[in-house]
Amino acid sequence: MDRRLYRFLQFLLLAGLGVFLSFKYLTGSLSWYINQRYMPLTIIAILGLFGMALTVIFSARQAPHTHDDGEEDHDHADHEHEEEKVSSGWGIVFIFIPLIVGLAIPANPLSASAISNRGLSSSAPLSAGGGSQANFNMAPETRTVLDWIKLFNFQSDLSPYLGQNADVIGFVYHDARLPAGHFMVSRFAITCCVADAFAIGMVVQAPTGDAYPDNTWVNVKGPVQSIEVGGSKLPLIVSGSISPVQAPVQPYLFP
């Protein structure tokens, strides 16, 4: 492959990755892939990609230096050596595949369909969260689904919390283990990136529970009790009020 073409492909790849990550960051969809705490590192990576792209295109425009005959021969040998390395550079084309796939496939957050493959967890937030406990003294209405799951895992005595009113937002998931008139109000939590995402959920008891299909985002309010599902204790919102809502800008929770 011609050296100039190789350098141009390098420039396109580096600049393309920089533009791709910048677009994801500016539109807010980058947080559908990674934990928010890594955003500063991503910005540094974006700047680094643009910097490398400029370096590559600048070096490609540099004319070869010529001095006396001996040095010209040396430069010629170096040029042949570089051309030999570049001749196998078609492999760089394959690196474009992830970029093309990322541009072609629309970004979507994980939904109820992913729970079928990943399962629903009742303890993952503990191991993934580094052992940090939720503030159990916070107002019950301010707790998220993740906060309630942590509470049910960390607290051996749940009696002070049973009967408190929950006010949570999540998407509907109909778990086959639940009786009729029950569903899960669920969220995905991310520790590092979407690859380690795990689903969590609170059980909702409501006569109209079957009226809400999977992936419907709802706001559920009501008193909390305890229920056992698959050998684990989970929070149960008893006969709560259910209101369909828009999906939040940030659909994930972060331990």
Specify the CATH class of 112-253 in words. mainly beta
Angle at 198 (CA atoms; ends 197, 199), nearest 5 degrees: 130
Closest CA to 140 of 109, 108, 163, 121: 163
Question: What residues does 228 pair with on adjacent strands?
Answer: 233
Asked which of 38-47, 70-79, 109-118, 210-219 is least confident by mean pLDDT, the reply is: 70-79
Average pLDDT over residues 130-153: 80
- How far apart CA 199 and CA 203 sit, in angstroms, is 13
Strand pairing report for 182-189 and 198-205? antiparallel
Read off the DSSP letter of residue 132.
Answer: P
pLDDT tens digits for range 202-219: 999 987 767 889 999 999
Domain ranges (residues) in the chain: 3-104, 112-253
| This model's pTM is above 0.75 | no
Residue 141's pLDDT is 93
> 151, 160 in Cβ contact below 8 A?
no
> 25, 46 in Cβ contact below 8 A?
yes
User: If pLDDT is split at 50, 70 and 90, which confidence band does 88 have?
Assistant: low
Residue 131's pLDDT is 43
Angle at 140 (CA atoms; ends 134, 144), nearest 5 degrees: 55
Q: Which two tokens stand for residue 61?
A: 């425009």
pLDDT tens digits for range 18-55: 999 998 899 888 888 888 888 899 999 999 999 999 99
